[in-house]
Amino acid sequence: MSTASQQEQRALRRARQAVRCLPFRLSFYQLLDAQALSSTQIAAHPNRQQLSRLSLNANRTEDLLIWLIQLGVLRREVDGQGLTERVRLTPMGRNTIAPWSDAIPPGGVLMRLKHWLRQHRPRF
């Protein structure tokens, strides 16, 4: 296996772990695959309970979107004037959620702890 392929597999594994530890449901990622939305639009979405297991305000949603962008699951939408506030699912994001057709299984305690450390203490 080439080094690039190993890195891609490691990134995909890391993204899948993050998706399992974050509060967003599968419908959230499917919605972002269909259309670009901003954190404000997501927080005010009429079906937000179907998008997330937690009630998130726009600021917390934006923090989680930035983390998903850093992982490669999401990307900022681009329009004629540059980057926008809206995000979309990336091809890697599609690969990340591909194993789940009904729901994303939540991560266990150890997985959530590992994810928290990776997100908040990356050099630890």
Distance CA 117, CA 112 (A): 9
Report in angstroms the alpha-carbon separations of 96 from 40, 58, 67, 71: 24, 24, 15, 11
Residue type at 34? A
CATH topology of domain 3-120: Arc Repressor Mutant, subunit A (1.10.10)
- pLDDT in the model for residue 3: 80
Q: What residue spans define the domains of the chain?
A: 3-120
- pLDDT in the model for residue 48: 86
Distance CA 24, CA 14 (A): 16
pLDDT tens readout for residues 30-79: 999 999 999 999 999 998 899 999 999 999 999 999 999 999 999 999 88
Structure tokens at 102: 């009904």
pLDDT tens readout for residues 25-40: 999 999 999 999 999 9
pTM of the predicted structure, to 2 decimals: 0.90
